[in-house]
Structure 1
């Protein structure tokens, strides 16, 4: 994995260098790319590309990055809504 510490996505809440690298690998290189794609579709692509390396926490982290909030602040109802969107 390349050194992604300066990757622009790594500066968003919840997204570190590893997640930024994963996103870059699926064609999401900027915050605008992530916002355009949305958390659910970005998560689906990550899950398809990287399988078990991507957990549901990634879904919450992506949604939090877009909303500028900590992923741990999502309550169970919000998490369930995100999961339903992924499954739907």
Structure 2
């Protein structure tokens, strides 16, 4: 696990996730135009914090939690943000 992956995991704890999967997909984007060194990540996060929120509001919560990592360590972030009911975790 990379330092950035661990930092992502720590920062996303503020959303009290039931489940959190972080995948570093940087190898799929090697040499990608416009990338100044940040990595590409895919996140699947399940949290009660997303209850009643639309897609943009959910993504904003994630971006707010990630904070300054987006300015230096992360070039791209693909987000799947679900409630426990949407993920099947509450059944």
TM range (shorter): 0.3 to 0.5
What TM-score, normalized to structure 1? 0.32
Higher strand share: 2
Higher helix share: 1
Larger Rg: 2
Higher relative contact order (CA closer than 8 Å, sequence separation 6+): 2
What TM-score, normalized to structure 2? 0.32
